[in-house]
Structure 1
Amino acid sequence: MPPRRSTAMTERILCVDDDPNILQGFQRALRRQFHIDIALGGEQALQAVISDGPYAVVVSDMRMPGMNGVELLKRIREHSQDTVRIMLTGNADQHTALEAVNEGHIFRFMTKPCPPETFAKALTAGLAQYRLIRAERDLLSKTFGACVKVLTDVLSAVNPAAFGKAARVRQLVRQLCKQLDLNDWQIEVAAMLSQVGCVGIPAEVLAKAYEGKKLTVHEQNLFDAYPRASHQLIANIPRLDVVADIIAYQQQHYDGGGFPGDGKQGDQLPFGSRVLKVAFDYDTLVSTGMIKELVMAEMNDRPGRYDPAILIALSKVLEITNLQVVRQMGISELVDGVTLADDIRTANGTLLCAKGQEITRATRFRLRNYLPNSGIQSVIRVFMPLEMASRFPQQHDEPASVRMGEP
């Protein structure tokens, strides 16, 4: 069995200088301890970071022709925020040091000549700092994701109709982002949380709005206020300020109409808001029973309401057939990855979970608690991806080719 490489040998370091002899000296002296790449000058280094990064540590000389070390490390920070930056220079004046720290956010500042053992200690410290940064970021990301999931699970229990709507909008937003070649977690989280402001709207008003029925003036005023209420609930949560802005403008038209109607239009609106508007209105029109071809015609016949690029993306999404199985499953058999094909209501008509809602642990827990005494069906219909269905053989399959947005 070959010997395991140390962590320091798997995390890459980039050394930058305009003198190739110095760079080759770094590699020779430290190649047994670290994985070191070299770059001859700032331009070559920046290209390496963009095309071959991320690097754990970048060590740069200060004085180089073209792009100096401060400018290089400043630009590296823009492309790779976690990379630890170290400055090496033969000019240790106070002004240079301050500029390096303030502009390049330098972790450590060293002067030439730098003995190999001193240089190695600096690299070891830089790698330790990089691991700490990544560990904190991973922990924050996992904690943040778990908190958002708990929030949506709790709110889905409080208002199933609103969060059934959010679940369907999120599914379509995910497809739109894929079609638009976007990988933006903020838009998807905004879709998940887009309806939180609806918790105070009476259920009958919400049902009418989601089904595209005409509202009274009072009902319309109630409904129009939900994006602002959603924004106010979310804006103070750390890392969700951008999400809150997306949610605030989810009902604003591309031409500036709609709500809140503050004059922002076109590219002034958050791109995520424009995506949510298309997804929300598409789902509402489908809920009226309109087939997708007529839905697209109706949306194209609403000039100024939608971003044209997102409408084009929607038309392409609707051309993609998602093969699924409409399956009957017992409440106790439900698993993550399936979606409700029908509303689930108690015997007295109370909505527990809305059609289109994804099954989660919280959903299963709620349905199992209600099962004994509420009169809900013990067997329900779900949409299951075809590739998943083979793992759950059953007699009650209803094979179906389901297109996005069709009931």
Structure 2
Amino acid sequence: MSDERRKILFVDDDANLLASYARQLRKRYDVETAESGAAGLRAVGELGPFCVIVSDFRMPGIDGLQFLSACREVSPDSSRILLTGFAELEVAIKAVNEGSIFRLLTKPCHPEILVRALSDGVRQYELVQSERELLEETVRGSVRVLSDVIGLTRPDVFGQISRIMPLVRKLSILMDDPQPWMTETAAMLCLLGFITLPEKLVRRVNLGRTLTSEEYAMFAGHAEVASRLVMRIPRMEEVGRIIAYQDKFYDGRGLPQDAVAGDLIPLGARILKVLLDFDRAVESGMNRPEALTALGGRHGWYDPRIVSTLGSMVKDEGQYCVKTVNMDALQESMVLAEDIMLERGGKLVRVLARGQEMSRVTIAYLRKYQQNFSMSSKVRVIIPWECVEDESASSTPESS
């Protein structure tokens, strides 16, 4: 365990007692002290994170319960221990209910009991940290797997996702999205349900063709399918909800058929509704200003603030930087500026579609095909939003 994670904070209005704690424990832990609840909160913010936070109950101003309750908000993983000379049942109940206290110790506390409690608190902190890291890795890994499945099985669908991702990231910032990672993750997986649809139907949707009642019935279920799959991943419930509402009109029409409308629709879903339809309009042959005009004429479909913000983005953005690079110079986040084709059985077969963002898996996928089939060793790629020069890669700018 690193020194940073062995830090202990003692808060007490008795300076002599704090000095005693520091002397007793300095060989075991990195001990910080504070003589009031307010000073303790400053220490948590400036010197944390602490493995264990120990506070006296009776202090002027902020008492120990109030202090540890505040610590729970700013440092939820820290184990919190309350020391009190007033071991009434009421104090113990309040300690548990209000402060999420790890241990309640009475004063004077024997040094062995205190050391044992601190040791248990450190282990609890390590356990919480390990579980969080494991869960975060599990979530990230699950998202990567699902995203790569889309890229490898339906490159045309993944191409659309890749085209909107730079816009999703920028719109999330401009719209003050409180959880931008949720919106970005939802964007990566929003078309997961498309892998269940026939390719012909997906093409008709992306070209803006009018669907028959039978086709619409098939298409209408894609968001629910994707949402259900994503919600099975831990901590992804809200991401799944964003995906479920991606086809919902701002005025409340559309799917899901419920009373949710306007700003009650998740912000991420409102962003996806605008960008997916904008991308489909562009892919159908419109230029970007024409696509924006088309969206603006669909009254009640979109959050007008998002459409307006997208218009400002499109107006202000510079041209993409298009480069020709060798296959071995491909990097993650590069976007294909052209379809990747290979010759197989005398016919040209599309391997990856224009607009697809490169990932570790898709790069390995391309190189594998390059080794086994006849295909070009060079590819044109786009660097979204700005032309990023990479001196380590051999590349030729085509426009800026």
The interval holding the TM-score normalised by the smaller chain is: 0.7 to 0.9
Q: Is residue 35 of structure 1 aligned with residue 19 of structure 2? A: no
Contact preservation (8 Å) 1:8, 1:35: no
Q: Is residue 367 of structure 1 aligned with residue 362 of structure 2? A: no
Return closer, same or farther for 1:324/1:269 CA change in 2, 3 Å cut-off.
Answer: closer
The worse-fitting range, judged by mean Cα deviation, of 370-379 and 173-182 is: 370-379
Aligned partner (choices 80, 90, 100) of residue 85 of structure 2? 90
CA distance in 1, matches of 2:312, 2:78: 39
Aligned partner (choices 167, 170, 188) of residue 165 of structure 2? 170
SS at match of 1:255: coil
Q: Give the Å deviation of 1:36.
A: 0.6
| Aligned-pair Cα RMSD in Å | 3.1
CA distance in 2, matches of 1:382, 1:331: 10
Match of 2:391 in 1: 390
Q: Give the Å deviation of 1:350.
A: 5.0
CA distance in 1, matches of 2:358, 2:330: 7
Aligned partner (choices 139, 143, 153) of residue 134 of structure 2? 139
Contact preservation (8 Å) 1:59, 1:86: yes
Match of 1:3 in 2: none
Figure out how many residues of one structure are paired with residues of the other and give that number. Answer: 393
Return closer, same or farther for 1:386/1:80 CA change in 2, 3 Å cut-off.
Answer: same
Query: What letter corresponds to residue 78 of structure 1 in structure 2?
Result: E
TM-score (norm. length: structure 2): 0.85
Query: What letter corresponds to residue 365 of structure 1 in structure 2?
Result: A
Match of 1:356 in 2: 355
Equivalence map 1:277-356=2 (5 Å): 277-319=273-315, 321=317, 324-346=320-342, 348=347, 350-356=349-355
Match of 2:216 in 1: 220
Same amino acid, percent of matched pairs: 37
1:70-112 deviations in Å (ceiling 9; x for gaps): 3443343233321211111112234432442344222222111
Q: Give the Å deviation of 1:153.
A: 1.1
CA distance in 1, matches of 2:75, 2:309: 30
Q: Is residue 157 of structure 1 aligned with residue 136 of structure 2? A: no
Return closer, same or farther for 1:289/1:102 CA change in 2, 3 Å cut-off.
Answer: same
Q: Give the Å deviation of 1:375.
A: 5.7
Q: Is residue 381 of structure 1 aligned with residue 377 of structure 2? A: no
Equivalence map 1:191-210=2 (5 Å): 191-210=187-206
Contact preservation (8 Å) 2:169, 2:180: no
Query: What letter corresponds to residue 358 of structure 1 in structure 2?
Result: E
CA distance in 2, matches of 1:259, 1:101: 44
Which consecutive unaligned segments of at least 5 residues does structure 2 have? none
Return closer, same or farther for 1:57/1:279 CA change in 2, 3 Å cut-off.
Answer: farther
Q: Is residue 247 of structure 1 aligned with residue 235 of structure 2? A: no
CA distance in 2, matches of 1:340, 1:20: 65
Which consecutive unaligned segments of at least 5 residues does structure 1 have? 1-5, 402-407
Contact preservation (8 Å) 1:249, 1:273: yes
CA distance in 1, matches of 2:260, 2:154: 31
Contact preservation (8 Å) 1:325, 1:389: no
CA distance in 2, matches of 1:312, 1:117: 65
Q: Give the Å deviation of 1:250.
A: 0.8
Return closer, same or farther for 1:73/1:304 CA change in 2, 3 Å cut-off.
Answer: farther
CA distance in 2, matches of 1:305, 1:193: 22
CA distance in 2, matches of 1:99, 1:191: 43
The worse-fitting range, judged by mean Cα deviation, of 175-184 and 200-209 is: 175-184
Query: What letter corresponds to residue 162 of structure 1 in structure 2?
Result: V
Query: What letter corresponds to residue 109 of structure 1 in structure 2?
Result: L
SS at match of 1:238: coil
Contact preservation (8 Å) 2:10, 2:32: yes
Q: Give the Å deviation of 1:142.
A: 2.2
SS at match of 1:387: coil
Q: Give the Å deviation of 1:195.
A: 0.7
SS at match of 1:154: helix
Match of 1:70 in 2: 65
Contact preservation (8 Å) 2:82, 2:103: yes
Query: What letter corresponds to residue 363 of structure 2 in structure 1?
Result: R
CA distance in 1, matches of 2:75, 2:293: 44
